[in-house]
C-alpha cells in the first residue's frame, strides 16, 4: 500500500508547482511513511507524487515515481501484483532489463510491451497512473474489484488524481463544494457509488476500469474486465475442488512480502480459512489479530478466534474496545475516510489495524468478499425466499393490480410505519428491481419524508432507481447465460457495496495506521468461478456458502463451519439508545451540524427517527449512523 497523487495541466497555462505537488503528496504520509518522491516533466505540465509503504524490495531501488530506461514512461503505483515474478520472467526473455525486485517496475515494462492491454495480465490489487511522454498521454487504472481507490478531478484543463480526496483538495484550483447527487446516493447506499463522490467535480474511477487522457484533453474511461466474462459450468464436485484449489493458490500468492505479516481473525469461516491456509503455506503458525467489545457478549467472538489460534499454535494478539475508544476515534473519522463511509465497522477495523501496527506487523490478510461471492448472509437467503416464493410471480401481474398494495398501505398506515414493506411494494408498483443491495440506509420511500421540498425539486426522491437499473442493464448486453436471481443480486453487490463500502472501510482504516490489507477471496479467478455457480448449488439445502463450506471441510474445524454466522459488527445501535451515556452526544452531531445550511433535510422527520430509536420503538441505527457520518464529513471538509 502506498499513496499516489499527480497533476496534468492538459490545456491550462498553469505550470506544475513543486510546492503544491509536495503538499498534495504529504497528505498521504500515513499511506506511505517509509519514503517519498516526486517527478515533474521538463515542460512542467505533468507532476507525480509518491509516498511509500515498503512491502516488496525494501531498498531505494523500489522508490517511486519510477521510470523506464529512456525516461519516457513514468509510473506511480499503489497496491501489489501477485503474479509479477511470472510476468517478469516473460519480459526478461523479450529483452526487458530490470533494476529493482519490485512489482511496480514490472508494470512499466508490461505497459511498454502491451499498452493498455497490460491490465489483462495483472493479478492483484492496484491503482496506478502512467505518463507516456512519447504519446503525451496519461493512462490510469483501478483493479478489477476496486480494492484500491483512485480519485480524480478534471476541470478547466487541469487533471488531478490521488489515492485519497484530501490530496486533491490541497490544489489551489479545487473548491470544496458538496455534490448533492452524490449526497443523495450516499443516503441510499451508505457509500457513494462510482463515479460519484460527495465533492463536486471530484470523481472516483469505477472498479475494473481505466482512463486515458490525451494532449487534446480527451478523457475516456473503459471497462477491461467483468466477473461474468469467463463463465464456465461444472459439476458440484468440480466447483468444490476448484474453489479449494484457487483459494489455496490465492492465499499463498498474496503472502509475497519482505515485511512481517499476519491475519485478521474473527473466528468465522473466512478468516479461519485464511489463518489455516497461511500457516500451511508458511510451514509455521501465522500471527493472528482479534478484537472484541467491552461488556457486550453479543459481539464477542474470542471463543472462536482463540480456538483457531490454539489449534494452529499461533501467537494471538487481542484487543478490547468500548465507548471510550469510540468517542476518541469519532472526531477522526471524517478525515480518515474523506469520501465518507457509512459502515460502523470502520470503528473496530481502525483499532484492529492499530493493534497490528503496534505489534510491528505491516501486512495482514482479511476475509472480505467471501460472503458476497458465495452468498453468505442470512439476509441474502431471505431475499431469495421472497423472490422465488412471491416476487417472480407478482412482477408478472398487470400494472394496475401491482399498484394496489402500495397505495393501500400508504392510505391506512402512518408514513413511518412498515417503511420497508412500503418500499418493496413501491418497487413492485413501478417495475423497479426487487434487490437494491445488502446495505441500504434510506429507501426511496423514506426519502419522500427525509428530503426537504427544495431538495426534492432538485433531485427526485427515486433517483437511485436509475443508477440501479443501469447496473442491471450491464448484464443484458453480455452473453452471460445463467443470470439467475442470485447472480444478478451478487453482481450488484460487486458493483456498489463491496468496493465502495466494505473494501474502502478496510483500505482507509488500515492505511490510517500504515498497514496493508490483502483480500485473497477476491482473486479475480476465484470471483469468476464463484459467478459461475448457479443458485441451486450456491444455496443448496438452504445453506449459506454451501460450496465454500464444502471446500473448506477438513481444513478448518466443523464447529467453525457449522456455527451460526455472527457478522463482524459494531454496537452503534445500543450506543444510540436512551440508556446509553453517549447517546445524546452521538445524535447531537446530526442536530448541530452545519449541513443544515444546505436545506436538504426535514428535521422533524429526523427527530422522529431519533425518538423512535432512543425509546426502543424501532431500530433506526443504520439510518442515524449515516446521518452522523454525513454530518461529520460536511463539518470537516465543507465548512
Rounded to the nearest integer, the mean pLDDT of the chain is 94
Q: Which of 77, 70, 53, 84 is CA-nearest to residue 130?
A: 77
Query: Which element (helix H / strand E) includes 323?
Result: helix 323-337
Would you say residue 565 has pLDDT above 90?
no
Kindly state the average pLDDT of the residues 99-105: 94
Cβ(570)–Cβ(344) below 8 Å: yes
Q: What distance in Å separates the CA atoms of residue 430 and residue 193, rounded to the nearest whole number?
A: 23
Q: Is 340 helix (H, G, I), strand (E, B) or coil?
A: coil
Q: What is the pLDDT of residues 260-289, one digit of tens each?
A: 899 999 989 999 999 999 999 999 999 999
In which band, very low, low, confident or very high, does the pLDDT at 206 lie, cut at 50, 70 and 90? very high
In which band, very low, low, confident or very high, does the pLDDT at 301 lie, cut at 50, 70 and 90? confident
Q: What is the pLDDT of residues 423-440, one digit of tens each?
A: 999 999 999 999 999 999
pTM: 0.96
Would you say residue 258 has pLDDT above 90?
no
In which band, very low, low, confident or very high, does the pLDDT at 419 lie, cut at 50, 70 and 90? confident
**Strand 209-213, strand 219-223: pairing:** antiparallel
Cis peptide before 65 (omega within 30 of 0): yes
In this prediction, residue 479 carries a pLDDT of: 56
In this prediction, residue 595 carries a pLDDT of: 98
In this prediction, residue 478 carries a pLDDT of: 63
In which band, very low, low, confident or very high, does the pLDDT at 480 lie, cut at 50, 70 and 90? low
Angle at alpha carbon of residue 241, lines to 236 and 242, rounded to 5°? 100
In this prediction, residue 127 carries a pLDDT of: 98
In this prediction, residue 420 carries a pLDDT of: 84
Starting at the edge strand that comes first in sequence, how are the strands of the sheet with 46-52 ordered?
Answer: 35-40, 46-52, 3-9, 158-162, 151-155, 202-204
Cell numbers given for 487: 447472480
Cell numbers given for 10: 492538459
Q: Is 35 helix (H, G, I), strand (E, B) or coil?
A: strand
Beta-carbon contacts of 94 under 8 Å, excluding residues fewer than 6 positions away, are 113
Q: Which of 520, 362, 364, 264 is CA-nearest to residue 32?
A: 362
Percent above pLDDT 90 for the chain: 88
Calculate Rg over the CA atoms of the chain. 24
Would you say residue 75 has pLDDT above 90?
yes
Cell numbers given for 219: 478523457
Length of the chain: 639
Q: What is the pLDDT of residues 234-255, one digit of tens each?
A: 999 999 999 999 999 999 999 9
In this prediction, residue 298 carries a pLDDT of: 84
Would you say residue 352 has pLDDT above 70?
yes
In this prediction, residue 482 carries a pLDDT of: 54
Q: What is the pLDDT of residues 369-385, one digit of tens each?
A: 999 999 999 999 999 99
Starting at the edge strand that comes first in sequence, how are the strands of the sheet with 287-293 ordered?
Answer: 316-321, 287-293, 261-264, 363-365, 516-518
- Count Cβ atoms within 10 A of the Cβ of residue 553 and give its class: 0-12 exposed, 13-18 middle, 19 or more buried: exposed
Q: What is the pLDDT of residues 161-200, one digit of tens each?
A: 999 999 999 999 999 999 999 999 999 999 999 999 999 9
Q: What distance in Å separates the CA atoms of residue 628 and residue 639, rounded to the nearest whole number?
A: 16
Q: How many CA atoms lie within 13 A of 442 on its CB side?
A: 28
Active site residues: 2
In this prediction, residue 295 carries a pLDDT of: 83
Q: Is the CA virtual torsion 572, 578, 584, 587 positive or negative? A: positive
Query: Which element (helix H / strand E) includes 318?
Result: strand 316-321
Q: What is the pLDDT of residues 325-342, one digit of tens each?
A: 999 999 999 999 999 999
In this prediction, residue 267 carries a pLDDT of: 87
Q: What is the pLDDT of residues 17-72, one digit of tens each?
A: 999 999 999 999 999 999 999 999 999 999 999 999 999 888 998 899 999 999 99
In this prediction, residue 513 carries a pLDDT of: 97
Amino acid at each position: 500500500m502506498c499513496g499516489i497523487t499527480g497533476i496534468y495541466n492538459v490545456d491550462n497555462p498553469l505550470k506544475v508547482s513543486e510546492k503544491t505537488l509536495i503538499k498534495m503528496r504529504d497528505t498521504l504520509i500515513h499511506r506511505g511513511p517509509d519514503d517519498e518522491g516526486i517527478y515533474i516533466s521538463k515542460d512542467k505540465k505533468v507532476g507525480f507524487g509518491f509516498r511509500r509503504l515498503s512491502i516488496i524490495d525494501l531498498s531505494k531501488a523500489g522508490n517511486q515515481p519510477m521510470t523506464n530506461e529512456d525516461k519516457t514512461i513514468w509510473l506511480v503505483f499503489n497496491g501489489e501484483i501477485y503474479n509479477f515474478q511470472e510476468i517478469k520472467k516473460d519480459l526478461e526473455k523479450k529483452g526487458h532489463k530490470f533494476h529493482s525486485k519490485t512489482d511496480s517496475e514490472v508494470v512499466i515494462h508490461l505497459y511498454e510491451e502491451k499498452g493498455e492491454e497490460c491490465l489483462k495480465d495483472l493479478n492483484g490489487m492496484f491503482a496506478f497512473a502512467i505518463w507516456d511522454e512519447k504519446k503525451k498521454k496519461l493512462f490510469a487504472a483501478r483493479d478489477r474489484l476496486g480494492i484500491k481507490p483512485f480519485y480524480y478531478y478534471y476541470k478547466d484543463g487541469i487533471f488531478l488524481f490521488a489515492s485519497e480526496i484530501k490530496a486533491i483538495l490541497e490544489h489551489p484550483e479545487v473548491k470544496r463544494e458538496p455534490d448533492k447527487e452524490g449526497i443523495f446516493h450516499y443516503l441510499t447506499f451508505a457509500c457513494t457509488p462510482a463515479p460519484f463522490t460527495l465533492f463536486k467535480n471530484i470523481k472516483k474511477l469505477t472498479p475494473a476500469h481505466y482512463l486515458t487522457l490525451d494532449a487534446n484533453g480527451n478523457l475516456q474511461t473503459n471497462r477491461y474486465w467483468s466477473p461474468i466474462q469467463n463463465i464456465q459450468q461444472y459439476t458440484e464436485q468440480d466447483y468444490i475442488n476448484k474453489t479449494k484449489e484457487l483459494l489455496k493458490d490465492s492465499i499463498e500468492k498474496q503472502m509475497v512480502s519482505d515485511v512481517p505479516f499476519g491475519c485478521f481473525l474473527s473466528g468465522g469461516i473466512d478468516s479461519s480459512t485464511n489463518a489455516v491456509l497461511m500457516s500451511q503455506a508458511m510451514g509455521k503458525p501465522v500471527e493472528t489479530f482479534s478484537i472484541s467489545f467491552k461488556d457486550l457478549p453479543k459481539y464477542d467472538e474470542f471463543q472462536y478466534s482463540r480456538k483457531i489460534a490454539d489449534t494452529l499454535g499461533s501467537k494471538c494478539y487481542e484487543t478490547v474496545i468500548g465507548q471510550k475508544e469510540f468517542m476518541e476515534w469519532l472526531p477522526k473519522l471524517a478525515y480518515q475516510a474523506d469520501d465518507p463511509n457509512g459502515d460502523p465497522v470502520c470503528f473496530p477495523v481502525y483499532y484492529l489495524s492499530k493493534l497490528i501496527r503496534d505489534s510491528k506487523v505491516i501486512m495482514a490478510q482479511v476475509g472480505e468478499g467471501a460472503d458476497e461471492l458465495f452468498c453468505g448472509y442470512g439476509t441474502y437467503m431471505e431475499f431469495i425466499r421472497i423472490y422465488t416464493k412471491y416476487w417472480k410471480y407478482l412482477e408478472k401481474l398487470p400494472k394496475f393490480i401491482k399498484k394496489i398494495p402500495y397505495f393501500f398501505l400508504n392510505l391506512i398506515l402512518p408514513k413511518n410505519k412498515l417503511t420497508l414493506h412500503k418500499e418493496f411494494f413501491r418497487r413492485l408498483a413501478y417495475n423497479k428491481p426487487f434487490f437494491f443491495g445488502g446495505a441500504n440506509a434510506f429507501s426511496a420511500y423514506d426519502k419522500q419524508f427525509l428530503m426537504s421540498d427544495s431538495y426534492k425539486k432538485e433531485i427526485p426522491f427515486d433517483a437511485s432507481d436509475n443508477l440501479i437499473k443501469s447496473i442491471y442493464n450491464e448484464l443484458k448486453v453480455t452473453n452471460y447465460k445463467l443470470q439467475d436471481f442470485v447472480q444478478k443480486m451478487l453482481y450488484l453487490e460487486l458493483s456498489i457495496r463491496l468496493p465502495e463500502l466494505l473494501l474502502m472501510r478496510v483500505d482507509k482504516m488500515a492505511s490510517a495506521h500504515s498497514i496493508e490489507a490483502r483480500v485473497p477471496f477476491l482473486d479475480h479467478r476465484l470471483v469468476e468461478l464463484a459467478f459461475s455457480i448457479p443458485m441451486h448449488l450456491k444455496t443448496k439445502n438452504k445453506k449459506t456458502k454451501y460450496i465454500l463450506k464444502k471446500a473448506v471441510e477438513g481444513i478448518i474445524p466443523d464447529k467453525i463451519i457449522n456455527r451460526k454466522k455472527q457478522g463482524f459488527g459494531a454496537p452503534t445501535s445500543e450506543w444510540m439508545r436512551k440508556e446509553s451515556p453517549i447517546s445524546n452526544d452521538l445524535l447531537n452531531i446530526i442536530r448541530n451540524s452545519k449541513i443544515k445550511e444546505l436545506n436538504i433535510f426535514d428535521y422533524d422527520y429526523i427527530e422522529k427517527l431519533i425518538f423512535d430509536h432512543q425509546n426502543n420503538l424501532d431500530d433506526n441505527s443504520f439510518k442515524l449512523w449515516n446521518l452522523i457520518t454525513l454530518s461529520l464529513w460536511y463539518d470537516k471538509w465543507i465548512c
